[in-house]
């Protein structure tokens, strides 16, 4: 069996607090961590998710 050399991410963390009051023009985000790099390169994919609060 050949082991694939794939990157591995942690789960995303909790959302941050809003940068502005809810309903304003703020954002919030959550991050994850690269646990295993692929071929000494960074993980492939997004490290953060950003949510706008324009609603």
Sign for the CA dihedral angle at 14, 55, 27, 41 comes to positive
Q: What is the pLDDT of residue 23?
A: 62
What's the predicted TM-score (pTM) here? 0.65
pLDDT in tens, 5-53: 678 899 999 999 888 765 667 888 999 999 987 777 788 888 999 888 6
Residue 4 has pLDDT above 80, yes or no: no
On the 0-12 / 13-18 / 19+ scale of CB atoms within 10 A, 16 is: middle
| Coil vs helix vs strand at 33 | coil
Give the homologous superfamily in CATH for domain 1-55.
Thrombospondin type-1 (TSP1) repeat (2.20.100.10)
Q: What is the pLDDT of residue 46?
A: 87
């Amino acid at each position: 069996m050949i082991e694939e050399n794939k990157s591995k991410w942690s789960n995303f963390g909790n959302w941050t607090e809003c940068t502005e009051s809810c309903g304003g023009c703020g954002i919030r985000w959550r991050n994850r961590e690269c646990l295993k790099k692929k071929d000494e390169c960074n993980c492939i994919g997004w490290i953060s998710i950003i949510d706008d609060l324009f609603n």
